[in-house]
Structure 1
């Protein structure tokens, strides 16, 4: 039996990982450490919260004393770090909380884990740290970091701290950088759930710029299986890119959702582009595929159909007040990074 501490486990990706891990590793003890910010929703873990080997701790990742207390009490052996402020538009309005959570919080978590002798630390990051691609090429693990928003800059800072803890202290850190995640239980301010939920009630769908920004879409279950591979087989000090091999323009994604729901493209409303909006992201995931034997299981068509069906059948989830955000009347966020600090 292994004890795993997961930060940000009330958010979309963190909660999906918790459920994935506990199904695949039912004897492990799991600690869900989350501050329950706007991005955290206890409904995300209802299916596992009753299990005797699950524990929730409400806490801030900048609280070094609490982190050390929990890690020592629970004899934590592995940390999987999802917790982050992740909304690009919010970071443009207020960069300070992104630096506090994503940079200082990651440093506190690394320090606590080092002091407590944690055996493996997975730092979950994003392809947005690489900046913007042109029409061709892919992000590899050796692509220089060139973040273009306060959010991605804060994530790049956290990546460099994780690297420094390996290089300086020999602490067993592994970094993953994923492309845009989607799937059930994602916060409705993100692009795919925002479009689905708006279309279901026939609301206009704001779309940034010309809608031709390209993202590589990764089903959250594929992301979880990749992280499992990194935990079990990854080499400390290494970076692993995780992509879904599903490049689509934003307008293609929106139109496909509308077709699936039988809704007209006339719901789309083009709005002024976001400041510093990266044009294209695309991941080269050949390293994790060749070295660790991982590959995505979901095609985009299959994953999107499953996701649309889930939101259509769970209106009680996305109509909850806890999932109402201050920016629902603006264009939705494409970022697929971890949520919940």
Structure 2
């Protein structure tokens, strides 16, 4: 498993007949082919990816291996499985590829939101690797006729997110009495999508999406990074006041917002992402259920209620730092 993998995140499903944990690499094509045949797989939802931009800046090789070569291996295995099926089973087969809005590059404040027709313009090794995987998936539809669908989502948040990402990083640093690092001026804008809404969007595209097409999935919640951090701080002030936090004892911190620290911006930091998700709403009947306010409150409460999970992350090799050495 990579650093972010944790089978305990799926412990609720351990006794479910449909669940099986297989410890293997996405690069092991023969192993994947065997699993697809043994389990008579008819649907593949491809989440597997290296996804942290900071890490890709410091070391892009794992992103090429997993996101590009790994996707190719999975496509090859899926194509072999699909080709061996009867005609009716081939028609029912689906390969859904989960991608990101970062493949579209960056927006100015006045630009329209990304949509399915937006030209690709990736600006980081991570987004370049995901763009490459998107093109590979597209090619398997147009070249071989394999039934594929691609989704491009905005920034996810919610329970179980590894704390290199902004929202859990801020949560755990604040609870630990540590600085809350903000890149540059903190005015980078992202659209935020609650993880359960993302999952229902994927299911909608899987069930009713047009083959060979792409669907953008967003939360309709554009916010500056600094606004996100201040919102989390305000919720913590309400739910776990600084005065009651032993990790802040003696630090003269009355409100969590006082922990905010501005740090040097990362190279090639995209200024704004925004998603137009009209197509998936029109064609598949999907729209997000959570507002940012409802979703972030659920998320903060989850981290407060699951401190044992948080400690298990802290007890590993991750120390809560921003990752990437550039």
Unaligned runs of 5+ in 2: 83-89, 238-254
Q: Which residue number in structure 1 is paired with residue 34 of structure 2?
A: 69
1:54 deviates by 1.2
Contact 1:127 1:177 in 2 (8 A): yes
Matches within 5 A, 1:190-209: 190-209=165-184
Q: Which residue number in structure 2 is paired with residue 297 of structure 1?
A: 289
Shift in CA distance, 54/261, structure 1 to aligned 2, threshold 3 Å: same
Q: Which residue number in structure 2 is paired with residue 261 of structure 1?
A: 236
Q: Which residue number in structure 2 is paired with residue 228 of structure 1?
A: 203
Q: Which residue number in structure 1 is paired with residue 150 of structure 2?
A: 175
1:123 deviates by 0.2
- Are 1:121 and 2:95 counterparts? yes
Contact 1:175 1:237 in 2 (8 A): yes
Inter-partner Cα distance in structure 2 for 1:195 and 1:86: 18
Structure number, greater radius of gyration:
2
Inter-partner Cα distance in structure 1 for 2:321 and 2:34: 42
Structure number with the higher strand fraction is: 1
Q: Which residue number in structure 2 is paired with residue 284 of structure 1?
A: 276
Match of 1:110 among 69, 75, 82: 75
Contact 1:166 1:173 in 2 (8 A): yes
- Are 1:41 and 2:6 counterparts? yes
Q: Which residue number in structure 2 is paired with residue 307 of structure 1?
A: 299
Shift in CA distance, 304/123, structure 1 to aligned 2, threshold 3 Å: same
Structure 1 consecutive aligned stretches of length 4 or more whose deviation exceeds 6 Å: none
TM-score, L = length of structure 1: 0.85
Contact 1:205 1:331 in 2 (8 A): no
Inter-partner Cα distance in structure 2 for 1:234 and 1:323: 42
Superimposed CA distance per residue, residues 67-125 of structure 1 (whole angstroms, 9 cap, x where no aligned partner): 10100111100000000001111111111110011000001101100100171000000
Shift in CA distance, 213/323, structure 1 to aligned 2, threshold 3 Å: farther
Structure with higher RCO (Cα < 8 A, 6+ apart): 1
Structure number with the higher helix fraction is: 2
Shift in CA distance, 321/331, structure 1 to aligned 2, threshold 3 Å: closer
